[in-house]
Amino acid sequence: MKSIIITGGAGFIGSHVVRLFVNKYPEYRIINVDKLTYAGNLANLKDIEDKPNYCFVKADICDFDAIYALMQEEHVDGVIHLAAESHVDRSIKDPFTFARTNVMGTLSMLQAAKLYWESLPEKYEGKRFYHISTDEVYGALRLDHPEELFTETTKYQPHSPYSASKASSDHFVRAFHDTYGMPTIVTNCSNNYGPYQFPEKLIPLFINNIRHRKPLPVYGKGENVRDWLFVEDHARAIDLIFHKGKVAETYNIGGFNEWKNIDIIKVVINTVDRLLGRKEGEDLDLITFVTDRAGHDLRYAIDSRKLKTELGWEPSLQFEEGIERTVRWYLENQEWMDNITSGEYEKYYESMYANR
């Protein structure tokens, strides 16, 4: 039985990856390591929490001693490292937290894996450290050059404390391969959307605000462009790359699906209004333009052709279908959303683990 740690498995993308691996690979032992910060929610995994091949460990990835002990206790064969602080606005207000979690936390995971694997007779044979990163490390693309895309060789030019911290962690992962021979892989993905996303991010935030007819704050004129990827497609890519990707390679994962923020907001409004039985477009007047974010990158766009050519992956959903599924999920899971926005889920898990 392979034993795999998935960090940040109670978060948005992580919970989808954990669910996929637990259900698809009953012969694997999946250890979900999560600190349960504000964005981690075990309610995201209610449907698989009793599976015999699933285990949750509440731990901070920056706690090297705890992570190293876990590596030894669980005889870990692989790491899929998703745990990260990821909200740009929060990074602007508190860069130290992002440096701690994203840089030092990644270094802690790397060093723990290195020391444990090097202690084994087979050392790195059959082992893998897979680090999930972001397209934001590449900086920004120009709006007037739509043919330009981020490739795996695009120069790093991070513009926010968040992207700078992720760029640094990427470099540490590659350095551990180059220095120690650790079998590492890095992927850089575009904006994810779908069920279980914490409602500080654009799509779930706006779905909830439309439901309650609250203002929809749009930075600048809403002209910033993002490439959107349905989270279940991202989880499929992670599965494929973990098993079939080449060691020391980088793979970009994107949806080939660019939208201006203002256009995606209008699609969300129309979809929510229709599904709530309102007149389509009735809530367009909720859009409120606000002062642009500091250092706001104009455009991100991922070139995923390497992943398609080498491993055969491509997105399964068109954006309109993905948005329809996403909006329906949030509207049908109001208890989940209400517990998140009220903070009740944090109180519940604080009490659950208070005496452990």
Q: Which two tokens stand for residue 194?
A: 């779908």
- Beta strands 184-189 and 128-134 are parallel
- Catalogue the active-site residues: 135-136, 162
**Residue 156: CB partners within 8 Å, gap ≥ 6?**
137, 138, 139, 167, 170
3-state secondary structure the chain: CCEEEEECCCCHHHHHHHHHHHHHCCCCEEEEEECCCCCCCHHHHCCCCCCCCEEEEECCCCCHHHHHHHHHHHCCCEEEECCCCCCHHHHHHCHHHHHHHHHHHHHHHHHHHHHHHHCCCCCCCCCEEEEEEEHHHHCCCCCCCCCCCECCCCCCCCCCHHHHHHHHHHHHHHHHHHHHCCCEEEEEECEEECCCCCCCCHHHHHHHHHHCCCCEEEECCCCCEEEEEEHHHHHHHHHHHHHHCCCCCEEEECCCCEEEHHHHHHHHHHHHHHHCCCCCCCCHHHEEEECCCCCCCCECCECCHHHHHHHCCCCCCCHHHHHHHHHHHHHHCHHHHHHHHHCHHHHHHHHHHCCC
**Residue 78: CB partners within 8 Å, gap ≥ 6?**
2, 3, 4, 5, 127, 128, 129, 130, 242
- Beta strands 78-81 and 184-189 are unpaired
